[in-house]
Amino acid sequence: MKSSVSNREIWRIAVPIMLGNLAQTIITFTDTAFLGHLGVVELGASMIAGLYYFVFTTMAMGFAVGIQIITARRYGEQNFHRIGIIFQHGAIFIFCLGVILFTVLSVFSGHILQFIIDSDNIYAASMEYIKYRQYGIIIVCFNYLYRSLYIGISDTKVITYSTAIMTVVNIILDYCLIFGNWGFPDMGVGGAALASFMAEVSAFIFFNIYSYLYFRKSDYGMFKIHRMEKDLMKRILKVATPTMIQKLLSFSSWFIFFIFIEKMGETAIGISSIVRSVYMIMFIPVIGFASTSNTLTSRIIGEGKSDEVLSTTTKVLYNCLLCCVFLVGFAALFPTQIMSIYTEDSELARIAIPSIYVVCVSTFLQAFGCNYFETISGTGNTRSALFVELGILAIYVIYTWIMTKITTDIQWVWTAEFVYGILIGFASLVYIKFAKWQKKTV
């Protein structure tokens, strides 16, 4: 059935989400651009340590997606008074999760990173990064929760504001702390981590102030004290737990991808750090529109329009591809100029450019895969989404390992992104067309 959702509505939801994702991308971009002028060790360490850190945050990200799905469903049903109750239950869980993650990070990071990193130089720099970044883990968990709330109620402009604040804080502090400008200490990799931590804190403070002003006179019940509902927490965890596991496995596979590359040498990991930064910029529309597919799917099911899910997702995908064309086109036309932002080493830039072309193609394939995959989660069938991705991630990791053994050309390793995008897209499309998900309740 033809989608009743307009292109304007799709962009109204997607643009602020893209701008929100831009915050983390800009943090990665500025860290990489500044550290690239220090050397490949600093580049590799910031990427590996950053990915290691985000593997831990994926648990909170996955839980927040579960909250987003349920919030969007209640919003579609116009049960607004339940949204505040759902958020408060989520906040209790997120706080406990954040404390556990911080404990694991602070106690076990040295042993874990020493086991998986071959280069002593990269290991030492990675530990310097984690030493500062670990303190932001609880803050990041709550930032994910706030994002899920606003995406769920389709009021995503607040994410734009928080993004602007994070970006400004991170860029200024990167400039000050990495190189020791304006009287600040010269901290290198540690400075990048501390700048990122302070950027996350600034966003958290903003979310709290904005939410108080936004919700204090609303029907959402955000600032009322609600009793704990055991059945509600069970429903939240039933939806969120598979998503938590799925996000953890997905990002862990991405982390393993770079660990395999690190074993190819410091130059290979340095190049991949730059390629990843460029890729993440092109990936912004993919994440933004995929999240839009997720929240629109849950909302229109709540409105009783399950027969519009596939047509709506396809419509979102078309808009996503249109947006990707501009970013990919720029990267494909001006790779040399882009590389000059990250490094003054012309040989490093020359070796990296073929991988830039690979991720340009991969961006379109990931747009196809991620939009249909997030639709499965949007239906509330998060367990099915987990099972769909499990086998594909195994193939992805095996393919990556094989490529690192049979070639020394880093661009061929990056073709693993082709494998994931194609497989996850077709598997998800088959599920949406033929599985029985229409009456799933959350």
- The sign of the torsion formed by the CA atoms of 275, 276, 281, 282 equals positive
Which two tokens mark 250? Answer: 């997905």
pLDDT band at 274 (very low <50, low <70, confident <90, very high): confident
pLDDT of residue 117: 82
DSSP string, 105-152: HHHHHHHHHHHH---HHHHHHHHHHHHHHGGGHHHHHHHHHHHHHHHH
How many other C-beta atoms lie within 10 A of the C-beta of residue 198? 17
Which two tokens mark 265? Answer: 């040498």
Higher per-residue confidence, 245 vs 201: 201
Tens digit of pLDDT for each residue in 133-167?
889 899 999 999 998 888 888 777 788 888 888 88
Higher per-residue confidence, 16 vs 246: 246
Higher per-residue confidence, 381 vs 282: 282
Tens digit of pLDDT for each residue in 48-73?
888 888 888 888 888 888 888 888 77
- Tell me the helices (H) and strands (E) count for the chain, helix number first: 16, 0
pLDDT of residue 156: 72
pLDDT of residue 160: 80
> Is the pLDDT at 249 greater than 90, yes or no?
no
Residue 103 makes CB contacts below 8 A (sequence gap 6+) with none
pLDDT of residue 438: 59
Alpha-carbon gap, residue 5 to 162, rounded angstroms: 27
CA distance readout (Å), 2 to 5, 306, 307, 313: 9, 11, 9, 11
Tens digit of pLDDT for each residue in 335-369?
888 888 777 778 878 888 999 999 999 999 999 99
Tens digit of pLDDT for each residue in 213-237?
877 666 766 777 777 778 888 888 8
End-to-end, the C-alpha distance of the chain in Å comes to 23
pLDDT band at 291 (very low <50, low <70, confident <90, very high): confident
> Is the pLDDT at 23 greater than 70, yes or no?
no
CA distance readout (Å), 278 to 156, 170, 310: 25, 18, 31
Alpha-carbon gap, residue 55 to 337, rounded angstroms: 31
Tens digit of pLDDT for each residue in 388-431?
888 899 999 999 999 999 888 888 999 999 999 999 999 998 88
> Is the pLDDT at 284 greater than 80, yes or no?
yes
Q: Are the C-beta atoms of 15 and 92 separated by less than 8 Å?
A: no
CA angle, corner 43, sides to 41 and 48, nearest 5?
95
- Give the distance, in angstroms, between the CA of residue 145 and the centroid of all CA atoms in the same chain: 13
pLDDT of residue 437: 61
Question: What stretch of H or E contains 414?
Answer: none
How many other C-beta atoms lie within 10 A of the C-beta of residue 28? 24
Tens digit of pLDDT for each residue in 168-184?
898 899 888 888 888 78
The fraction of the chain above a pLDDT of 70, given in percent, is 95
pLDDT of residue 241: 85
Mean pLDDT over residues 242-271, rounded? Answer: 83
Q: Are the C-beta atoms of 442 and 235 separated by less than 8 Å?
A: yes
Q: Are the C-beta atoms of 211 and 159 separated by less than 8 Å?
A: no
Mean pLDDT over residues 428-439, rounded? Answer: 77
Mean pLDDT over residues 109-128, rounded? Answer: 86
Q: Are the C-beta atoms of 423 and 395 separated by less than 8 Å?
A: yes
Could you tell me the residue ranges of all domains in the chain? 7-434
Tens digit of pLDDT for each residue in 85-107?
888 888 899 999 999 999 999 99
Q: Mean pLDDT over all residues of the chain?
A: 84
